[in-house]
Structure 1
Amino acid sequence: MFERDTLHQRGKALEDEFFHRVDEKLGAELHARMERDEAIEHLKPSTCFDDTAVIEHLVDAGFTPSSIAALALVPLVFVAWADGNITAVERQSILSAALHRGLKNEPPAMSMLENWLHHRPADSLWRVWEEYASAVGQSLTPTLSAMLHQEIMRLATKVADASGGHFGRGKISAKERIVLDRIADLFAVTG
């Protein structure tokens, strides 16, 4: 009988432990889901559109209201990384664009940009930027969308031009041209 009671107690203890772990896991998942939902609600006012799927992708990519401004510089970063590394003049061109956009006053955005300049971002960032750019483009008037496209192309071309050619001017590499064409194609679809 003693042995049977001990087995029963061990079985009960294992069962209790199992359900305790399940409860902890479910609690953690619920907490994470609630935090994500809260982050989505906080980010919505920082965008000029109401596409929940895009906002969810932005949150999943680590963007917050204080870092979303860095997203505007993603095409410049990908142009700079097109040849496999970023030169000092490309970096300076991107940082100049960042300062003109007020990123100096947004430390999380500036930190995110600095990280992208030191470590090539994953292609998933490009896809998030494409979704974001498309959503922004659709929320603007055709005139404003065209102006945005022109500005992005101007800045991206400036970065591509920064290290090429004779004395650092005049030559855009084939790989940089591919990225510039992808930017142009995106706005041709959304614009």
Structure 2
Amino acid sequence: MQDRIFGDREKAMEADYFRKEEARLLEKLRQNAKIDEIAEALRDQLQVNDPDLLVAVRDLGINAENASAFLLAPLVQVAWAEGKVRKDEQAAVLKIARDRGIEEGSPSDGQLHEWMVNRPADELFKASLRAIKAGLAVLPGPERHERIERILDGCRAVAEASGTEIAHQLGLGTGVSKSEASLLDSIASELRSRD
């Protein structure tokens, strides 16, 4: 009987820790904290909620120093949609990174630069979306929707930055290629789906 009491107490303590980590992540998201702070809170939440994803993320080379770049990986994925990253796309990714608190010269900034020169593996992009989705899951519906739209707006800004489509150059369209549009749809679908 005593073993059962300790087991129940242990489960209750674990559940309490999990609730506290979710509350901490929720507060960071609501405060529009710097992406570094959000990455730290998300890491702690994943440690309890999805340790397998956290291990997969670490196996991809993501650590405390470059975790903020990991949360912007969908932007990098969109930049690579046409097989190479153009200067305007790189500038758009870096502007969004600065707007979200990644400082020039920081490890996350260096990681973004590296990913725009050498395309990351698809596993990194998939893991990033899973982690972002896990973080968004703690938000109530309207806030979650707003955050998803903010992420998608950033992805669209990167897609539109290249302006390679003739229609865009003539002022008749957005400049988003078919491959970029397809990827944007895929990212939107993944983030909006409820597992």
Could you state the TM-score of these two structures normalised by the residue count of structure 1?
Answer: 0.71
Which one is further off, 167-176 or 150-159? Answer: 167-176
Say whether 1:184 aligns with 2:188: yes
Does structure 1 conserve the Cα–Cα contact (< 8 Å) formed by 2:89 and 2:159?
A: yes
After TM superposition, the structure 1 = structure 2 runs for residues 87-102 of structure 1, keeping only pairs within 5 Å, are 87-102=86-101
Which residue of 1 is the match for residue 43 of structure 2?
47
Which residue of 2 is the match for residue 121 of structure 1?
120
Q: Which one-letter code corresponds to 2:174 in the other structure?
A: G
Say whether 1:166 aligns with 2:169: yes
Which residue of 1 is the match for residue 132 of structure 2?
133
User: Within 1, Cα distance between the matches of 2:77 and 2:138?
Assistant: 24
Whichever of the two has the greater Rg, that structure is 1
Per-residue deviation at 1:46?
4.9
Which one is further off, 50-59 or 118-127? Answer: 50-59
Does structure 1 conserve the Cα–Cα contact (< 8 Å) formed by 2:57 and 2:124?
A: no
Q: After the TM superposition, which parts of structure 1 deviate over 6 Å for at least 4 consecutive aligned residues?
A: none
After TM superposition, the structure 1 = structure 2 runs for residues 27-42 of structure 1, keeping only pairs within 5 Å, are none
Q: Which one-letter code corresponds to 1:76 in the other structure?
A: L
Deviations 1:119-177 (A, max 9, x none): 11111111111211221121222222111101011010011111122169722101001
Q: Which one-letter code corresponds to 1:62 in the other structure?
A: G
Count of aligned pairs:
149
Per-residue deviation at 1:48?
6.1
Deviations 1:85-142 (A, max 9, x none): 1111111000101111121167221111111011111111111112112211212222
User: Within 2, Cα distance between the matches of 1:96 and 1:48?
Assistant: 27
Q: Which one-letter code corresponds to 1:53 in the other structure?
A: D
Structure 2: segments with no counterpart, 5+ residues? 1-38
Could you state the TM-score of these two structures normalised by the residue count of structure 2?
Answer: 0.69
Does structure 1 conserve the Cα–Cα contact (< 8 Å) formed by 2:42 and 2:135?
A: no
Which residue of 2 is the match for residue 155 of structure 1?
154
User: Within 2, Cα distance between the matches of 1:78 and 1:104?
Assistant: 21
Does structure 1 conserve the Cα–Cα contact (< 8 Å) formed by 2:148 and 2:192?
A: no
